[in-house]
Amino acid sequence: GQQITMVGALKNPGTFEIKSRKTILDLVAMSGGLAADAGNVALVTRNMNEGKGSRVFRCDIHSLIRKGDVDMNMPVRGGDVIFIPKAGTVLVDGAVRDPKVVNLEGKMGIEEALSAAGGLAKYADLEDIKLLRTMASGERAIVQLTMADIQTANGPEFILQENDMIYVEASGSRMLVTGSGASLGFMGTGFSYSSPEK
């Protein structure tokens, strides 16, 4: 059997043995379903083979459960860690000092969220900070920003919404600096650094 770890806003989180092929929805069901305070996304951290570090896949669990959007129903693999953040949070990941889920308080901007995650790491690429947002229509938008954009911007689009994700890319030397090599993939967006194997 293979083990999958389920954490976050679930009724019965824990580690589950799987013997056959399962999807993210199967695992949510095995965890008793989503907790009442669950947000709209699931984050799947997967260790890649041959020491390539780990990748984070972002799955729109809201579309999957409420709208039956099966494109989102990602197959899981042994060793995956599936995290369901609470509603009212944003995720800050990538080249920041302390990647974390940040609670949204009032009108929070991107710069504040980056600060809450310890600020940018030394190897961050200041020209490539991505904001991922699921629009009301269900479409996923990915906006590429520079640190200069973020510092000078004051438009409403820079006010974070729940379930947004901020991902700071690392500059070219990242593998030397961190060795972790985490990168992002998105299910069903057609935009992906790395598609999970079907």
Domain covering 2-87 in this structure, CATH number: 3.10.560.10
Cα distance between residue 185 and residue 189, in whole Å: 9
- pLDDT confidence bin for 175, thresholds 50/70/90: very low
Is-same-fold flag (2-87; 89-176)? yes
Residue 156, classified by CB atoms within 10 Å of its CB into exposed (0-12), middle (13-18) or buried (19+), is exposed
pLDDT at 162 exceeding the cut of 80: yes
Check residue 52 and give its pLDDT: 63
Q: What is the mean pLDDT of residues 108-118?
A: 94
Q: What is the mean pLDDT of residues 3-20?
A: 96
Mean residue pLDDT across the chain: 82
Cα distance between residue 104 and residue 162, in whole Å: 7
Residue 166, classified by CB atoms within 10 Å of its CB into exposed (0-12), middle (13-18) or buried (19+), is buried
Q: Please, are residues 63 and 140 in contact by the beta-carbon 8 Å criterion?
A: no
Could you tell me the CA-to-CA distances from 167 to 88, 148, 181 in Å, in that order? 18, 16, 13
32-64 per-position pLDDT tens digit: 999 999 998 898 888 877 666 677 788 888 878
pTM of the model: 0.72
Q: Which CATH architecture has domain 89-176?
A: Roll (3.10)
180-190 per-position pLDDT tens digit: 344 455 443 33
Domain limits of the chain?
Answer: 2-87, 89-176
pLDDT at 26 exceeding the cut of 50: yes
Q: What is the mean pLDDT of residues 20-43?
A: 93
